[in-house]
Structure 1
Amino acid sequence: MTNDPLAPLLALADVEPSFAEARARVDEALRHRALRRNGGQVAAEVGLRAAVASAALEDHRHDLAAVRAGTVTDPVVQGSLRVSEALDGLVDLWPRAPRQVLARLHMLAARGAVAEADLGRLLSGAERIDALAALVAGNERTPPMLLAAIVHAELLTLRPFAGPAGVVARAAARLTLVSRGFDIRGLVGVEEGHLAREPEYVGSAGAYATGTPDGVRSWLRHYAAAVTAGAGELVRIADEVLAPSGK
């Protein structure tokens, strides 16, 4: 028996097998030998690429090499980088005070992109944000990937903050995966998985917003595919780190 309110979603067609496959791919990627001695280097690269991908999904697209070189001043890219750098320090707070963390994420993401008075301030959807916060806080029942997917979709649908609200949604989902132990070191760049499947990402998010079982199923299957793609990207980055060139 379970009192998990999201448990019925796993019964939607093909959702549970998709999640199981994604979990297996993540577990395999996290066993990569580069992570034993070069985990910090890999994590830094994953964070950089995830931040660039998240900004691109807000239609602020820049070359990775240019961002790495520090020549990109786009405020959305800079905000996404700030968010990525701050995630480790927010992991413990997220399940205890999710609304506070969401406000903090928006302040980091949107600085320089929206009016200062709007930083960290909800513009809409307060009741659904309250419900989402209640779902996140202290929730040890919902499987981590399922909870992360719903957190992401709810915030993406509501877009309750001004400016790059999608950056906040993706960061909150990442915090969910990390805080619940699915990806405790934050090494799976799901953002890159979303970007690699961008038309599906946009379409399935729109389908989720309809609230129909088929729409929710579409989103959950996409989320599992994005996690799987993020695991594949982790392997590629780890392989680069082990290569003789160091790249």
Structure 2
Amino acid sequence: MSTSASDPLAALGALPGVPDAVESVRKAVDRVYGHRVMRRRSNEITSEAALRGARGSAALSGADWALEEVRRRTDFGGDPEARTVGAALRLGAEAGQLLSIWRQSPLRVLARLHLVAAGDPGEVRAGGAAAGPADAVGRPRQDGEGVDEPLIRAPLPDAGEVAGRLEGLSELIVAGTSAPALVTAAVVHGELLALRPFTTYSGLVARTAERIVLIGSGLDPKAVCPAEVGHAELGPEAYVTAFDGYLSGTPEGMAAWIAHCGRAVELGVRESTAVCEALQRGAA
């Protein structure tokens, strides 16, 4: 795939089908931002989007709870599913606090996200068992350390490859790109999912990083378009199939992954539009 040496993401924006996906997302986002409820109660929509996004992201990481159960619970310790939901909720609350740091030091943000997700380092576990020492939290995994990400079965890059590719991703973000926000967000999400850089919660971190790009780019500044909702609604099988396209590195595979991420954003928009309508009717 031909790319520009100075802006390799830009070429992805021109792949067949990608401009249409970008335009469709832009129109959807514009519609929800134009909703009359958004002008008066956007903070409520943002809070609800964070909750629903966390539920969706947790579902893809093996904790598929009903929304009302996520809303009702206050204790997220104990069993692995509860810890996963708690991690997703903490990440949703943290994402908006890291926007200014992201453009200068993405690796710092990723480390922070894993720290937030892990919570108590003593609870960092894989499959219900201890995943390793507490110092595994907030740093890329080392050779020999296991990874708990049951949905993604792709070959696991070794620690050296993880470190090199994380550095490359960081350099792309810091350098900036003319690529649309959807393209950048999809690549960040896909690359982190491919690397699974942490012993735990890499999927949650990858989807949160996607959210940070969408917010920080100005596409979704109020964080009301939770792509995680759409990823969960499209389902684990479609998620893995689209991700296989990213892993292939082919133009067709990359375009399919970007388009999948676009559909996820649009479904997140639909969810928040429904919340707006409910608020307008006085039903929420």
TM-score after normalising by structure 1: 0.94
1:201 matched to 2:222? no
1:172 matched to 2:209? yes
1:238 matched to 2:276? yes
Measured in 1, the distance between the counterparts of 2:222 and 2:270 equals: 16
Aligned alpha-carbon RMSD (Å): 1.5
| AA at the equivalent of 1:14 | G
- Give the one of 39, 63, 88 matched to 1:36: 39
Partner of 2:262: 224
Equivalent pair of 1:29/1:235 in contact (CA under 8 Å)? yes
Q: SS in structure 2 opposite 1:38?
A: helix
Equivalent pair of 2:13/2:180 in contact (CA under 8 Å)? no
Measured in 2, the distance between the counterparts of 1:196 and 1:13 equals: 25
Measured in 1, the distance between the counterparts of 2:45 and 2:21 equals: 26
- Give the one of 39, 46, 50 matched to 1:47: 50
Equivalent pair of 2:118/2:124 in contact (CA under 8 Å)? yes
Question: 1:113 deviation in Å?
Answer: 3.4
How many residue pairs were aligned?
A: 245
1:93 matched to 2:101? yes
Measured in 1, the distance between the counterparts of 2:205 and 2:191 equals: 11
Equivalent pair of 1:144/1:182 in contact (CA under 8 Å)? yes
Partner of 1:121: 139
Measured in 1, the distance between the counterparts of 2:202 and 2:88 equals: 11
1:63 matched to 2:79? no
Partner of 1:160: 197
Identical positions, percent: 34
- Give the one of 137, 145, 150 matched to 2:187: 150
Equivalent pair of 1:29/1:234 in contact (CA under 8 Å)? yes
Partner of 1:106: 114
Equivalent pair of 1:106/1:120 in contact (CA under 8 Å)? yes
Equivalent pair of 1:149/1:220 in contact (CA under 8 Å)? yes
Partner of 1:12: 15
Question: 1:143 deviation in Å?
Answer: 1.8
Question: 1:72 deviation in Å?
Answer: 5.5
- Give the one of 208, 211, 227 matched to 2:249: 211
Measured in 2, the distance between the counterparts of 1:71 and 1:4 equals: 45
Question: 1:241 deviation in Å?
Answer: 1.5
Q: Which deviates further from its counterpart, 87-96 or 134-143?
A: 134-143
Equivalent pair of 1:188/1:227 in contact (CA under 8 Å)? yes
Larger Rg, first or second structure (1 or 2): 2
| AA at the equivalent of 1:8 | A
Q: State the Cα deviation string for residues 24-55 of structure 1 (Å, max 9, x = none).
A: 11111111111111111111111001011111
Partner of 1:81: 89
Q: Which deviates further from its counterpart, 43-52 or 198-207?
A: 198-207
Q: SS in structure 2 opposite 1:186?
A: coil
